[in-house]
Amino acid sequence: MSRDMSYEAINARKNQIMKDAMRISYEDFEWDGIGFDYEKMMREVGYSMEEMRQIQLDNGVGDTPLLEMRNLTALARKYAPEGKGARIFIKDEACNASGSFKARRAAISVQQSKRLGYKGVIAATSGNYGAAVAAQATMNGLKCIVVQECYDNDKVGQPEILEKQRICEAYGAEVVQLTVGPELFTTFLGLLEETGYFNASLYTPFGIAGVETLGYELAVQCKERFGKYPDAVVCTNAGGGNLTGTARGLIKAGENKTQVIGASIDLSGLHMASDHDFNKKSCTTGHTGFAIPFVTWPDRSDCPRNAARTLRYMDRYVTVKQGEVFYITQALAVLEGYERGPAGNTSLTAAFALAQQMDQDQIIIVQETEYTGAGKHTMPQLTFAKQNGVEVYFGDPDTEVPGKTLVFPKDPSMIRAREYDLKKAKCSYVHNCVKNYHMTEATKQDIQYIMDEIREDESFVVNELKQYQVKIKEV
């Protein structure tokens, strides 16, 4: 008898499909109530830091250079108050096989799939991760399918996404191309079930653990060169794996005082699942339309429990504007001689502004760069924006309206890192707990779990829960 492949039927089987595709029994980590044992889940990845680093090095990943941006630092100091202007460094992850930090995630996921005897891997992503999985699969003799949202309903694709489609195919992957909409996850599930391939999700413990080597390396490199750990590390934030893994790696290197700062492009007002808005943005990752939903509810991912949990690790969260990122992308090329893609330049834009608030003897590290290619360059992006009715001009970036205008700063002094209220995000997380678990009461364990998730004290959590008439159980 053939399987029912309708939307409803596939999603009804999703838990078993996921279990078969990863061989992780997520129920082993679940507690009564709303929580689960996050640290137990991460421990049972089964790879030590030394093992992960060796796996990555054997596959062209890791030990990337830490580069000082002397000219960008000098420019930042020009606009900083006297004595301010921290030294800006970047961890050049474009040196990895496939050209981004995502190779770290892919190397561990592909290694796990190979150990378990899978014949192939599948990843659902429109970003650099598809290229990373494709490259690592090829190195290890596995087949690879990448499922991508490439187009709006008129089959018009954003240049950066089409570039990533091209590179996935160049590495030998089969690319399943979709238009924007809810069918991505269902198609992904159907392919996992049909092929019996490994789910190389961005959000498994294997994927997040792979990024821990990045935080570990930059901590060790900084300490060896300067006798101290970095004062701040800025991570472009989207689904949260970049920041989560980097922060965990810092901790494993013995450092827990470095400020971990998330940075995203402000795309407020654009709906990421809207066909109308799909091509109105000039960036495909590291933006608020993707990041905020994952910050406030990480378990919306393609795994029963997402191993990327941003609020556990993020000390500050800032946003920048699209025009500012394009400006810094060009400045990196013409001032420093490095041409890199847009995702890492989101955090570099934030670091340029944040450095001006820090002392000159302090160190701020942008923890990733990415490769650039035809669709990622500034000019095709700007041309595409204009074709979609976006007005592009120099002015005050604060006047930028996502989907309508793209504003380059008239002067570098206008580049800003705008503080996002983390308390607001934490309150939203608590609200989502109540809504998604239909909470009417909370145990001590529930409360402790939320405290750990958002790094707030008991009174904060209890007060938030009481706003939704959740009863607090005393025993």
Task: Encode pLDDT of 21-64 as tens digits.
Answer: 999 999 999 999 999 999 999 998 779 999 999 999 999 999 99
* pLDDT at position 158: 87
Q: Report residue 394 as tokens.
A: 């120099």
Quick check: helix, strand or coil at residue 85? Answer: coil
- Bridge partners, residue 261, by sequence: 234, 316
Q: Report residue 211 as tokens.
A: 């990024």
Interatomic CA distance for residues 178 and 88, integer angstroms: 39
| Single-letter amino acid, residue 195 | T
- Bridge partners, residue 316, by sequence: 261
* pLDDT at position 61: 98
Q: Cβ–Cβ contacts within 10 Å for residue 299, how many?
A: 15
Note whether 262 and 328 are within 8 A (CB). Answer: no
Note whether 237 and 283 are within 8 A (CB). Answer: no
**Radius of gyration (C-alpha) of the chain in whole angstroms:** 22
| Single-letter amino acid, residue 162 | L
Residues of the chain predicted below pLDDT 50: none
* pLDDT at position 475: 57
pLDDT digits (tens, 9 = 90+) for 216-268: 999 999 999 999 999 999 999 999 999 999 999 999 999 989 999 999 999 99
Note whether 21 and 123 are within 8 A (CB). Answer: no
Q: For the whole model, what pTM was predicted?
A: 0.96
* C-alpha torsion angle, residues 389, 392, 397, 398 (rounded to 10): -30
Degrees, nearest 5: CA angle 181-186-192: 140
